[in-house]
A = this chain, B = another copy of it.
């Protein structure tokens, strides 16, 4: 979907799907799903946003159920979670002081790459299919955060993306930049890749600065 060096494009896409699928698989394990459920959660998280994107754009069957590379990436991520998780647990049991935060941090940074790539490639696909500008921004945002939202609903939780952190906003911003660049006729590889980098940068800054969107107070008024 992204223009530019094909290897880089595919690699980033696979990284994004993989990172999202790992987060889905972990949520599945913690929710005590069986192996099939963990695979479904990895798939939902890695490819669910793109499925909604394709349904909204009328490009069916969705890539998320058609493309072997995407599905294999998700299944490998699920297997990694299931295989690595008990091993990590054993490791920590034998070394109680072991810091495992490096792994969590790596997953969060890869997830930022996925967020950026999905937002940009989602809005780009919408632009290329001739969707109205506003729809292109929505589609980019939904591609980026939709999979994680479905993941949370499936395990009975309110989607994280609605509750805390600066997560969806950089994605929507990235999608909007793509749309504006298209209207200004400057949508080339430089803008596309620059936008990916910008979204990653904002998201990573939000992680490190622990930024949150304000939560409006609930003061118990029931009008």
Interface residues of A (CB under 8 A from B): 28-38, 40-41, 51, 55-58, 60-62, 65-68, 71, 81-82, 85-86, 88-90, 92-93, 100-101, 103-104, 107, 126, 131-132, 134-135, 138-139, 149, 153-159, 161-164, 168-169, 212-223
Contacts and interface: CB of A to CB of B under 8 A. Distances in A.
Nearest to A169: B36
A179 B162 CA distance: 38
14 contacts: A28-B162, A31-B158, A32-B215, A33-B158, A34-B162, A35-B216, A37-B213, A56-B61, A58-B58, A61-B131, A103-B223, A104-B222, A107-B223, A153-B153
Contacts of A31: 158
A34 B65 contact: no
A156 B154 contact: no
A88 B31 CA distance: 35
A67 to B, nearest CB: 7
Q: How many copies of this kind of chain does the complex include? A: 3
B61 A132 contact: yes
A221 B34 contact: no
Nearest to A37: B162
B55 A56 contact: yes
A30 B134 contact: no
B89 A134 contact: no
Contacts of A158: 31, 33, 154-156
B55 A60 contact: yes
B66 A134 contact: yes
